[in-house]
């Protein structure tokens, strides 16, 4: 089993170090190989996703990814910005299925910005299509407008598009995931305005007929954004496109009050996967040893489960995380009165100890 370890920028290096610590403590046989990505790779090699990093990622069974991005790269041309690394990995490896769970941990219910009764026990899964939509649609660019309100003016444009097979395969992923959960899929679209999403809705409905045991409903994205804060527990699996999924998954993760705890997985059709925390590179707290490593440690557990076929080891890690929370250990992001504040490395050490 070969794992590509790509720490990236900001808190990426600190949180990945803790996840690697935990993986090494499992005494399974892995080959771990580290490579630079994002701003760190731009500094080292002049590109956010150097050939050598991409090659390693392609050869590996799984990728453990930290985070990329820093404000200091905002002025670089788009192709050299850190975000291009994650977009490039998604595209080159065909990582079309993105799983973003939003779980409210019992001990952290009070940390949500919503009333505890709205979020306690929350467990929803966002399945975001990750390699299509307006993120990758061509053409895109700048040109002179020939119509609209200001013909002759300078304009920028992107293209929202989905092919039938792209929608079919993500719909299957969502229905299959729902079968292992509460058997409900909410497909989020904007069919009232966009052709792309009328097509989406029609195809998801068609595929849904192959899953009569799963309840399917449809929701416009604006309403979904509202329902997520009004009655988040009414959802089970949400399936949506790349753009809407980007927005709704940030919204959903914040409901839990514990974005520092949420892992994510992006898989291709060969079950090769990229595993990363749902939070970003947080450059404001980088290097201070205060970042929460649990989302990354839990991402490593997801990696063991989905790409490396090591369910028992995945469960061991998840149980260890539960244990350290029960012990009252908290990094500053989830700290509250009556709990013990610890730093990044102490939290990682505690998880390693709890594995025993």
SS (H, E, C) 26-88: CCCCCEEEECCCCHHHHHHHCCCCCHHHHHHHHHCCEEEEEECCCHHHCCCCHHHCCHHHHHH
Per-residue CA distances from 260 to 56, 150, 335 (Å): 27, 45, 11
d(CA 75, CA 171): 38
d(CA 30, CA 186): 38
Helix count (H) and strand count (E) of the chain?
12, 14
Residue 250: how many other CB atoms lie within 10 Å? 16
Least distance in Å: CB of 235 to ligand IPM? 19
Q: Does 251 bind ligand IPM (CB under 6 A)?
A: no
Question: Is 213 annotated among the ligand-binding residues?
Answer: no
Nearest CA-CA partner of 189 in 178, 207, 201: 201
Say how far apart CA 160 and CA 164 lie, in whole Å. 14
Site size for ligand IPM (CB under 6 A): 4
Site for ligand IPM in 35-74 (CB under 6 A): none
Q: Is 259 exposed, middle or buried (0-12, 13-18, 19+ CB in 10 A)?
A: buried
Closest CB to ligand IPM among residues 211, 244: 244
**Interacting residue with ligand IPM among 155, 158, 202, 246 (CB under 6 A):** 246
Nearer to ligand IPM among residue 83 and residue 155 (C-beta)? 83
Site track for ligand IPM across 86-115, x = CB under 6 A = xx----------------------------
Catalytic residue among 42, 105, 135, 162: 135
250 is in an annotated binding site: yes
**Smallest distance from ligand IPM to CB 135, Å:** 7
Tell me which stretch binds ligand IPM (CB under 6 A): 11-19, 79-87, 172-180, 210-218. Answer: 79-87
- Dist. CA 228–CA 240, nearest whole Å: 14
Find the shortest distance in angstroms from Cβ 153 to Mg ion.
30
270 assigned to active site? no
Is residue 204 marked as binding? no
Query: Does the annotation place 282 within a ligand binding site?
Result: yes
By CB under 5 A, the residues from 228 to 257 that bind Mg ion are 246
- Report if residue 202 touches ligand IPM, rule: CB under 6 A: no
Which residue is catalytic, options 123, 158, 202, 250?
250
Tokens of 294: 């649990």
Give me the residue whose beta carbon is nearest to ligand IPM: 83
How far is residue 63 from each of residues 41, 55, 57, 173, measured CA to CA in Å?
A: 16, 12, 6, 20
Asked if 89 and 274 count as a contact pair (C-beta separation under 8 A), the reply is: yes
User: Are the CB atoms for 299 and 88 separated by under 8 Å?
Assistant: no
Choices 82-90, 105-113, 158-166, 199-207 (CB under 6 A): range interacting with ligand IPM: 82-90
Q: Which residues contribute to the annotated binding site for NAD(+)?
A: 280-292
Catalogue the active-site residues: 135, 190, 222, 246, 250
* Binding stretches for Mg ion (CB under 5 A): 246
* Binding stretches for ligand IPM (CB under 6 A): 83, 86-87, 246
């Amino acid at each position: 089993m070969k794992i590509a370890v790509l720490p990236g920028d900001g808190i990426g290096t600190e949180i990945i170090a803790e996840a690697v610590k935990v993986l090494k403590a499992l005494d399974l046989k892995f080959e771990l190989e580290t490579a630079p990505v994002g701003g760190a790779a731009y500094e080292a090699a002049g590109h956010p996703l150097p050939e050598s990093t991409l090659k390693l990622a392609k050869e590996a069974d799984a990728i453990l990814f930290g985070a990329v991005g820093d404000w200091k790269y905002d002025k670089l041309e788009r192709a050299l910005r850190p975000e291009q690394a994650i977009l490039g990995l998604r595209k080159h490896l065909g990582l079309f299925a993105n799983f973003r769970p939003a779980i409210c941990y019992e001990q952290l219910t009070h940390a949500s910005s919503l009333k505890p009764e709205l979020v306690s026990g929350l467990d929803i899964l966002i399945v975001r299509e990750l390699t299509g939509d307006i993120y990758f649609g061509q053409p895109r660019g700048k040109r002179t407008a020939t119509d609209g309100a200001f013909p002759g003016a300078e304009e920028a444009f992107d293209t929202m598009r989905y092919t039938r097979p792209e929608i079919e395969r993500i719909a299957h992923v969502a229905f299959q995931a729902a079968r292992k959960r509460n058997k409900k899929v909410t497909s989020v679209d904007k069919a009232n305005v966009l052709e792309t999403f009328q097509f989406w809705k029609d195809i998801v409905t068609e595929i849904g007929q192959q899953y009569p045991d799963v309840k399917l409903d449809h929701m416009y994205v604006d309403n979904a954004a509202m329902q997520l804060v009004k009655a988040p527990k009414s959802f089970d699996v949400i399936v949506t496109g790349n753009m809407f999924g980007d927005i709704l998954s940030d919204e959903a993760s914040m409901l839990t009050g514990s974005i520092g705890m949420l892992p994510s997985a992006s898989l291709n059709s060969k079950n090769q996967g990229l595993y990363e925390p749902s939070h970003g590179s947080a450059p404001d707290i980088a290097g201070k040893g205060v970042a929460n490593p649990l989302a990354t440690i839990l991402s490593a557990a997801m990696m063991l489960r989905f790409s490396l076929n090591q369910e028992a080891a995945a469960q061991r890690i998840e149980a260890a995380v539960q244990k350290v929370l029960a012990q009252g250990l908290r990094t500053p992001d989830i700290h509250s009165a009556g709990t013990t504040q610890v730093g990044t490395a102490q939290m990682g050490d505690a998880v390693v100890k709890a594995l025993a």
